[in-house]
Amino acid sequence: MLSNESESEGGVAVVGSSNADLVNFVSKLPKSGESIQSLDFEQQFGGKGANQAMCIAKISSPNAKLVFVGAVGSDEYGKQMIENFKSNRFQNVENNVRMINNSVTGQASICVEKSSGNNIIVLVGGANMLITEEMINHSWEDIKQCKVLVCQNEIPLNVSYYALKKAKEEGLITIWNTAPAINLLNLSNELKDICNYVDYLIPNEHEAAILIGEDDSSLSFNNDQEIERSCKVLFDKLHVNNIIITLGEKGCAAYYLDEEKNDHVFKFVPAEKVENVVDSTGAGDAWVGSFAYFLSCEIPVIDSMNLSNFIAGITVQYKGAQLSYNALNSKTVLEKFEL
């Protein structure tokens, strides 16, 4: 049960990226070879890992365990991020977030179409690509106190592999948000069994086909039957117990292990319609972060998915990734679902 008491919150550790988001708001997204004028520009905090952790900070109680393991550059962006993490009660920041000398902080160049909120993003890895397995070991005393660990694909894959494997062996629930997507059927021998250490695999509808080495048209999501088939294809090829595909404004779907039935079942969880979409940047990260948090509170999978749809639906009504999370708080969730 979710409450304002940290005893009901198992804690979440996020291993991942942190970026300076350089955001241009435009009248339309540019085509190949096209130059357009920006309507507005903002600098914000971002990065998939940091976004997911920040969402958890906003919706959890003040004493909840929240660990973020990452790296920033020794530039002004990095210094600002360290202070941002501290002010949002990330645990033991000086130990868990490494400042890398002579490296730039990760950056994301983002174009947001004002009329739809749709976006395109180009990433510069920077310090994110210098995260090492040793940093996981250095933070392990904090990580192992948590119930759930989350990784993504904006840091070296061998580090995510190491963190997921170590967490799984420690008994944590492991979540892998496979974004940006890679072909999981074509990994090196050292990494090809990574899915053995993943409890929940979470791509979005655009990333799902890439994970199995196919183009976007091979999986479709136009109705329940197509969505179920796509979830089952990922399950059959990747052998992860719980497959969840996020579907943007449509909601999300899961082919997951129902422990009561002791069998895998499919479930589509629709999202409530949002009338005023301003910016979808960071909505997927809010979904993943909040889902990890709700699982840490031992909320059932489908209820957690429903809650995460609600959280993501709030964030798209505001500008920015972490900036939009300022609209979130634990009281909103408690009142909405009477938890």
Our answer to whether residue 258 is catalytic in this structure is: no
DSSP string, 149-208: EEE-SSS-HHHHHHHHHHHHHHT-EEEE---S---TTS--TTTTTGGGG-SEE--BTTTH
Nearest to 130 by CA among 112, 152, 105, 109: 105
Nearest to 143 by CA among 199, 209, 195, 96: 96
CB 246 within 8 A of CB 284: yes
CB 23 within 8 A of CB 112: yes
The residue annotated as part of the active site, out of 75, 142, 199, 285, is 285
Give the SS3 label for residue 22. Answer: strand
Query: In 7-72, which residue ranges form alpha helices assigned H by DSSP?
Result: 48-59
Structure tokens at 270: 């629709």
Active-site positions?
Answer: 285
